[in-house]
Amino acid sequence: MAEETYVPGSNLDIAKMPGHWLLARMGKRVLRPGGIELTRRMLDTLAIGPNDHVVEFAPGLGVTARLTIARQPASYTGIERDAAAATAVQKFLTSPHYRCLTGSAEESGLEDGSATVVYGEAMLTMHTQGQKARIVREAYRILRPGGRYGIHELGLTPDNLNDEKKDAILRDLSAAIHVGARPLTSSEWRAVLEAEGFQVQAEHTAPMHLLEPARMLQDEGLGRTLRIVFNILRTPQARQRILTMRRVFRAYQDHLMAISLVAVKPEVV
């Protein structure tokens, strides 16, 4: 399989670029908070098969897109707001039934009830509460009755985490990754989906170990992990930022997690 060459934000100053783009620039390809294993659990729970019409919001580097098309759904459509990323993903979508379009997850432009599966990863966390609701509402609109919706996001734990601690986590996290991160607790994530009409069917969680050595090896393999480490070591500005990110992740490790929910759009009565 050809390796992805597109790196989002490659023209930006390392000191200012969002954390996930910085990691991609260093060679990291799996940028989901729960790693490749939680992604696979989400896909397994979604049970994508040859009769499914799948929509992915924000495929990014296309790692999950590759896992999805390996399951040979009837169709696959990625909706990616970054035109260069959409073009990069389209290059490995060789079937005429597989495509990646430039567009917004809030307004995909797809027809009502045109999908049987919709999923998105590591993107709702970066949006405001209102934007979260609009994206989930769009997923509901384009799904057929009985269709499945999966998310894989950054979560907060425990459910009764006090507001003062939440505010501290959000403030320090956003400062470290240079993106407005807004993770939620399990019950809050469920409430976002249920408010738009979904019925949550399954929940899976994993530690938020994005930058820990064991997770890196699991997600990237030994060869790529060594290349990432080499790239970080020879780029002092990147090294400083990534170490800051890891310090924040570790400081709040008892309150950060990765969470995947799979929900269903109810059948028409």
Residue 36: name the closest of 11, 72, 66 by CA. Answer: 66
C-alpha 129: how far from chain center = 17
206-238 confidence digits (pLDDT tens): 999 999 999 999 999 999 999 999 999 999 999
| Dihedral sign of CA atoms 40, 41, 46, 49 in order | positive
Strands 115-121 and 184-185: unpaired
With tokens 């240079």, the residue in question is 178
User: Taking the domains of the chain in order of start, what are their residue ranges?
Assistant: 20-264
Q: Is the pLDDT of residue 63 over 70?
A: yes
pLDDT over 50 (residue 18): yes
CATH number for the region 20-264 comes to 3.40.50.150
Cis geometry, peptide bond prior to residue 158 (ω within 30 degrees of 0): yes
The pLDDT tens digits for 25-57 are 999 999 999 999 999 999 999 999 999 999 999
Structure confidence at residue 76 (pLDDT): 98
For residue 261, give the nearest of 99, 144, 132, 74 by alpha carbon.
132
Amino acid letter, residue 16: K
In the DSSP assignment, the letter for residue 124 is: G
Residue 1 pLDDT grade (very low, low, confident, very high; cuts 50, 70, 90): very low
C-alpha distance from residue 250 to each of 24, 29, 126, 238, 255 (Å): 21, 21, 20, 18, 10
pLDDT of residue 179: 87
Mean pLDDT in residue range 16-25: 89
- pLDDT single digits (tens) 99-158: 999 999 999 999 999 999 999 999 999 999 999 999 999 999 999 999 999 999 999 999
Residue 3: its pLDDT value, please?
A: 45
* Secondary structure tally for the chain: helices H, strands E: 9, 8
**Which residue is listed with tokens 């990069």?**
88
Q: Give the per-residue pLDDT at 2.
A: 38
Rounded Cα distance between 136 and 119, Å, is 10
Q: Which two tokens stand for residue 154?
A: 């950054």
Q: What share of the chain is helix, strand, coil (3-state, %, to 5)?
A: 40, 20, 35
